[in-house]
Amino acid sequence: MGKLFGTDGIRGIANRDPITTEIALKLGRAAIRFCERKGLRPTIVIGRDTRESGEMLEHSLVSGVLSAGGEAFRIGEIPTPGVAFLTKELGGGAGIVISASHNPHEYNGFKVFSHEGFKLSNDEETEIEDLILSEVTHPPNKDSGKAGFIGDAWKRYVYFLKKTLPGNRPLRNMKIVIDCANGATWKAGPALFKDLGARIETLFADPDGENINLNCGSQYTETLRKKVLETGFDLGLAFDGDGDRLIAVDEKGQVLTGDQVLIICAKMLKDKGLLKNKLVVSTVMSNMGLQFALNNLGIEHSSSPVGDRYVMEKMRAKGAVLGGEDSGHIIFLDHHTTGDGLISALQLLTAIKFFEQPLSGLATLMTIFPQTLINVPVKIKPDISSVPELGSVIKNVEQKMGKRGRVLVRYSGTETVLRVMVEGEKEEDVERFAGNIAEVVRRNLG
């Protein structure tokens, strides 16, 4: 990671460095320089979620693009994967999303997509970062560019999503509660499921700029759970603020993890003969139960670093068409170039119809190992191996757990926290071990 880019773009509190109008302006210019260097069309497709700071940052970003002589296509409030799709569809040299995903409304950020709709590599992000930080050496062009607004962009995206399923109204007779997190799916989500024939109840689709992710969406499913039980519907679907994550709730009100959705879809694709190389990619944060479940189904498994961008890189390198994260980022490479919560939802619904089972039954494909994750605020981020007491306690816990458990300690790429994850067979042991490690972190780094 560099000075600006973390594991998923540039992120922070809006109007504080680095999420400022000044950085947005420089990013717009840098994106055009980047396109020119690559021989790409100097056109940037720009979308955003529903945060109140989005318009402020969008105006500066567009100004940067225009001052560098480029063209900006503004596409308004739209899910992150919609920007990825439209960047390729409209022939843009790059796409930029103004969003902070599942974070509270005071946060915002920038995610950059290539002209093909993929997230940028580390090297490409470093190149753009260098252009931003050395912007003084790249003065604006004398001739300014132009900007346009595509008002029906979200409808084009919905049409694309509908084409990923065969047949006419393939979701008819399905009853679904959807939680749009007062975020970017607030228009596309309800329209999509209605058009495909489902009966829906919609929650949290009234954004006001401040209520995005506020006690709703993929991070807070309690209201969704209650609504599913109250209505007797087949399931509930929760998206995050920018619409690239999916968390599902079964008809009994039980919350499924991203790993559980992944195993259900993996089995469906394998049974249909569509799981290329019989391989699934997930990150090192996936539950141990996922690998056991994949082994039971005769499916190979490959791990990547944390971040859906790294999942995608491993998928492309290994020839996989399915991968994802326990957080709910799931990639169906036969359908899209990035994780897409709405596509994930469509594939999960397809699996329910394919297996002719309720979601609660399909959830039993995977046994979840008890896992505790503690986010410890830190003041500094030294190499973990350089902190002797921390290394010692981690080694001690690993020895006690053996092959039936694991420890993962890593810094967040977007926050000043160290994530301590412990997983094993006994919940009480997992919680105790995680607490021991977290205390050492607080003592040394907090």
Whether 35 is in a domain gets the answer yes
Average pLDDT, stretch 431-435?
A: 96
- Find where tokens 């717009």 sit: 28
What pLDDT does 1 receive?
54
- Percent of the chain with pLDDT strictly greater than 70: 98
State the pLDDT at residue 137. 46
CATH, residue 238: 3.40.120.10
The reply to whether 15 and 138 lie within a common domain is yes
Last residue of a domain, one of 365, 387, 405: 365
Omega into 207 within 30° of 0, i.e. cis? no
As for how many domains the chain has, the answer is 4
Residues 141 and 41 in one domain: yes
Task: State the pLDDT confidence band at 165, using cuts at 50, 70 and 90.
Answer: very high
The answer to whether residues 282 and 293 belong to one domain is yes
pLDDT more than 90, % of the chain: 91
In which band, very low, low, confident or very high, does the pLDDT at 237 lie, cut at 50, 70 and 90? very high
Q: Which of 53, 101, 114, 218 is catalytic?
A: 101
At residue 226, the 3 state secondary structure works out as: helix
Two structure tokens written together for 118? 């993929």
Question: Please, which residues bridge with residue 238 across strands?
Answer: 179, 247
Of 291, 281, 277, the residue nearest 319 (C-alpha): 277
Supply the range of the domain harboring residue 399: 371-445
Residues with Cβ < 8 Å from 214, sequence gap 6 or more? 104, 105, 182
Burial of 201 (0-12, 13-18, 19+ CB in 10 A): middle
Residue 202 predicted with pLDDT over 60? yes
Place of tokens 């997509």: 113
Euclidean distance between CA atoms 343 and 356, whole angstroms: 20
Q: Among 124-138, 266-280, 380-394, which is the least confidently predicted range?
A: 124-138
pLDDT of 11 strictly over 80 = yes
Strands 371-377 and 417-423: antiparallel
- Cα separation, 369 vs 359, in Å, equals 20
Is 431 exposed, middle or buried (CB count within 10 Å of its CB: 0-12, 13-18, 19+)? middle
- Residue 254 above 70 pLDDT? yes
Residue indicated by tokens 């693009």: 65
pLDDT value of residue 416: 87
The token pair that represents 260 in the structure block: 């559980």
Nearest to 409 by CA among 383, 431, 379, 427: 383
- Confidence band of 439 (pLDDT split at 50, 70, 90): very high
For the cut 60, the answer to whether the pLDDT of residue 136 exceeds it is no
Mean pLDDT value across residues 293-311:
94
Domain limit, last residue, from 254, 283, 304: 254
Residue 166 lies in a domain: no
- Decide: 45 and 73 in contact? Cβ < 8 Å: yes
Lowest mean pLDDT among 134-138, 347-351, 408-412: 134-138
Q: What is the average per-residue pLDDT within 35-48?
A: 97
Quote the pLDDT of residue 134: 87
pLDDT in tens, 71-104: 999 999 999 999 999 999 999 999 999 999 999 9
Q: Is the pLDDT of residue 158 over 60?
A: yes
Residue 165 lies in a domain: no
Active site annotation includes 53: no
| The predicted structure's pLDDT at residue 251 | 98
Answer whether residue 286 is part of any domain.
Answer: yes
Q: pLDDT, tens digit, for every residue of 355-404?
A: 999 999 999 999 999 989 999 999 999 999 999 999 999 999 999 998 88
- Is position 272 within any domain? yes
User: Which residue in the block uniquely carries the two structure tokens 């509908």?
Assistant: 162
pLDDT attached to residue 218: 97
Residues 314 and 385 in one domain: no
Region for residue 76 given its phi and psi (left: phi exceeds 0; alpha: psi -120 to 50; beta: otherwise): left
In a domain, 5, yes or no: no
Task: Label the pairing between strands 279-283 and 300-304.
Answer: parallel
pLDDT of 131 strictly over 60: yes
Candidate from 21-25, 289-293, 361-365 with smallest mean pLDDT: 289-293
Mean pLDDT of 150-175: 96
Can you give the CATH number for the domain in which 415 is found? 3.30.310.50
The pLDDT confidence band at residue 143, using thresholds 50, 70 and 90, is confident
Position 303 pLDDT exceeds 70? yes
Partnered with residue 419 across adjacent β-strands are 375, 410
| Whether residue 178 has pLDDT greater than 80 | yes
List all residues 6 or more positions away from 398 whose beta carbon is below 8 Å from its beta carbon: 405, 406, 407
Let me know: does 201 contact 227? Beta carbons within 8 Å: yes
pLDDT at 140: 56
Domain boundary at 319, 349, 365, which?
Answer: 365
In a domain? residue 132: yes
Q: Is there a single domain that holds both residue 320 and residue 330?
A: yes
